[in-house]
Structure 1
Amino acid sequence: MSSTLPRIINERNLTLAELREILEKEERVRELTNLERYTLEYARRFSKENDPQRARAKVEELIKTFDIPEDIAVQLVNLKPQDPGEIRLVFLPLSKVFSEEDYKRILEIVNSE
């Protein structure tokens, strides 16, 4: 029994809202694999931002404003932290120091409608 895995063409950090949109489009044209179905359910359940374009705009604003890596910005948008302590946990891998004003601004960005 030989199974060929799809070839990876490119790799990109996606917000859960973007992932959900991609998989929902795929679901309309073909049957999803088990892994894709589980992933779609996860994205539907845990995505805190409904609009994929707004989610991406928040990621871009965080990157531009705070000079943080895309994967960290995506995690902030996905988690939608409610206090600076939650942001600090996401920032643990970074060696940068952020001010309380920075944390307030990050909260404003990720929680904006």
Structure 2
Amino acid sequence: MATAVARILGRLKDEGGLQGRDIANIVSASPPTVSRWLKGTSSPDIKTQTRIAQLGYLVDRLSEFYTADETRLWLHTPHPMLEGKRAIDLLNDDRMEDVLAVIESMDAGAYT
């Protein structure tokens, strides 16, 4: 039976178009470690689980606007509403709220 973390990681790959190395970079882990989490053979610490859950929420929100490939591209491309920074870099800097603010403005129709 898949763990909650494994299910979220599966969604990140399916709905977010993220690859294991993308997730590894965001949560500061190695790709083989992410693979073990995905298989359910090991589990990340609670801080990493929280970061994975937050990333899952972002991908869920972005999937309302984009396909999986477009979501991955959006996360990796510099964005004018993020001061020219990439969302993935802001996530690494624990600035999820900045990324969420842009998604919320997209949802409000302010920018797409």
For the aligned pair, the TM-score class normalised by the smaller chain equals 0.3 to 0.5
- Asked which structure has the greater CA Rg, the reply is 1
Normalised TM-score (structure 2):
0.35
Normalised TM-score (structure 1):
0.34
